[in-house]
Chain A
Amino acid sequence: MIEVTNLGKTYRRGDGTPVAALKAVSFQIDKGEFVTIRGPSGSGKSSMLNIVGCLDRPTSGTYRLNGEELSGYSDKQLSHVRARKIGFVFQSFHLMPRTTALENVEIPMVYGPGRVDRKRALAGLERVGLGGRAHHYGTELSGGEQQRVAIARALINDPPLILADEPTGNLDSAAGAEVMAILRQLHREGRTVVLVTHDDAVAAYAEREILFRDGVLASDRKIAVLLGE
């Protein structure tokens, strides 16, 4: 599903000096895998996730998603891919202020393939156990609930690829476990889940671990799934 070949990303600092965030990285992720990307801060894992999520473009190399070569895509084409193929879950939720849970879930429908459909948005909230909270504002929900709203939002256009960046980083362990249980469920339904985390307990949900260090892929290994039912 994801095919990254010799991919490099170079940023320019404020003073113009180039910084290589990614250097000739290559890997593949198959459809339906549950992969965790790990590594210290500045290792390049966030840059990788942004490129895989079509929010950013590589400076060299190629990136294929479902066989589509995306590195030369325009903003419009990349947005089109994001709307249909990718669901993001962020550490800080990014729910919109002064907006209800239901309205947050409806936002991607504006840009996705279908119409804005309130019933479908409500069904999405019910799926993450928040049907009764549809008309609450983000500020009225707990952290765990906010992240579940964000997951319902990420899923509303039915994307095959879920990209989660420290999804439990702002949650206590009980709420974090709930969120991870939902991500595992999505994996079992056949979606590809790519997870960036520092947390060993969270990483333990994945089947495979890709480790970045200094902008290169340091290791790539299958891991035993430690957390069962």
Chain B
Amino acid sequence: MMAGVMIGICSLTILDSVGESTKRETMKRFKNMLGTFDTVIIRPGSGKTRGMVSLTNVPPTLKFEDAAAIAAELPEVKQVALLQNAFDIDVKYKDKNVSPAIFGVSANWLDLRGDELAEGNIISEEDIGSLARVAILGSDVLPLLFPEGDALGKTIRIGDVPFQVKGVLAQRGAGPGGGSLDNLILIPVTTASKRLFNRDFLTMVIAQLRDPEKSEAAVSKITALLRQRHHIAVSALDDFTMTSPQAVMAQVREMGSALSTILKGIATIAMLIGGAVIMSLMLISVSERRKEIGLRRSVGANRQDILLQFILEAALVSSIGGLVGIALGLGGTNLVARLEHLPPVLSLQALESAAGLSVGLGLLFGIYPAWKAAHVDPVKALGT
């Protein structure tokens, strides 16, 4: 009987806590990917590109001049950050060889992404203007090229062009897919365009808005401006895609609450099974204790006394089972958290509902067996 409640409460605690933890972690990962919240992301193409965009898989439609026009002509936009990126480019330092993502970015990139440096300096406007050959290493790249960690000032070769390491990024952690966001090297976007890739189009523009509350209006203004600049006919589709982090986060939140609902459903089923177990075990206990019931009745217990005794016993056993279940659930939550690399969130709400439920289950599912106990015929039970 105790085991039934134990299992039910244990699974409830785990499900609830892990659910909460998963939700928070998912939010965090999306936030990692999206950066700050007052921005709109503009990418070339109609949005059908799958996976990470780069110079090799996007149409060459989003130009440097488009970004400049957005920044200059629209008062809703505070500033724009530019990205021109590519993969599969060899990066060498002495005998070490890696191929991280190469991000050609504008000077305000780190600021808009909310990223921070672990050491060194950021890419400056002078670097942009002078097409400087400077690089900032992602935290995954650093130990591969420089196991000693002494990267600043060293010269690496990106696709045979020498670059001087100017800084190292702080760790950002995982994205929504679980992959690392730290396997990259940042260089000035002008250097990337003219000295490395020889391309005049961008893979991404991030527009920071003056008023994030009015992102919808800003999105339609940017759309209009780009359509006009690209000479897109009224009936034709956009040749670019815009994503507002606010919209994505709203979607994520919705997903999170759907996840919680599913987990709560599972926990409820587990509890109902626990309750059914309590009930059947109590019914067994009642039939095993018929003699005791008959004896108690013969010495003066009325039906109510017996009913109360059995309900209280059920609640007591159920709460003990619940306590053990909570303890096991906490252990299980930590285990799951460790295996899944989630932060172990202890849901206080889960604990409260587990404690309340275990007493309540005992009471609820104890009622019928207790009623059966109260209606045992003492004459038959005593076999007189």
Contact = CB atoms under 8 A, between A and B. Distances in A.
Q: Do A and B come from one complex?
A: yes
Interface of A: 46, 49-50, 53, 55-56, 75-76, 78-80, 82-84, 88, 90, 92, 94, 96, 107-108, 110-112, 153-154, 157, 165
Nearest to A51: B379
Contacts of B297: 55, 79, 82
Nearest to A77: B302
B382 to A, nearest CB: 6
A94 B298 CA distance: 11
Contacts of B295: 94, 96, 107
Given A46-B384, A50-B384, A94-B295, A79 B379 contact: no
Contact of A79 (B292, B294, B302, B383): B302
Given A96-B292, A107-B295, A82 B384 contact: no
Contacts of A50: 379, 384
A165 B294 CA distance: 15
B161 interface: no
Interface string B274-310: 0000000000000000011011111111111100000
B382 A111 contact: no
Contacts of A79: 297, 300-303, 305
Interface residues of B, number: 19
Q: Which of A50, A84, A112 has the most CB of B within 10 A?
A: A50
Interface of B: 291-292, 294-305, 378-379, 382-384
Given A96-B292, A110-B305, A154-B299, 20 more contacts: A53-B298, A55-B298, A55-B379, A55-B382, A75-B302, A75-B303, A76-B303, A79-B297, A79-B305, A82-B300, A83-B301, A84-B300, A88-B299, A94-B291, A107-B299, A108-B299, A111-B299, A111-B302, A157-B299, A157-B300
Contacts of B383: 92
A120 B294 CA distance: 24
A76 B382 contact: no
A107 B379 contact: no
Contacts, number: 66
Is chain A's binding surface mostly helix, strand, loop or mixed? helix
Contact of A56 (B292, B304, B379): B379
26 contacts: A46-B384, A49-B384, A50-B379, A55-B297, A55-B378, A56-B379, A79-B300, A79-B302, A80-B300, A82-B297, A82-B299, A82-B300, A83-B299, A84-B300, A88-B298, A90-B382, A96-B295, A108-B300, A110-B305, A111-B300, A111-B301, A111-B302, A111-B305, A154-B299, A157-B300, A165-B384
Contacts of A84: 300
Contacts of A153: 299
Most B-side CB within 10 Å, residue of A75, A112, A165: A75
A73 to B, nearest CB: 11
Nearest 3 pairs between A and B by C-beta? A83-B300, A79-B302, A111-B300
Contacts of A92: 383
B300 A112 contact: yes
Contacts of B300: 79-80, 82-84, 108, 111-112, 157
Nearest to B296: A107
A94 B383 CA distance: 10
Contacts of B296: 107, 111
Nearest to A112: B300
Contacts of B304: 76
A128 to B, nearest CB: 16
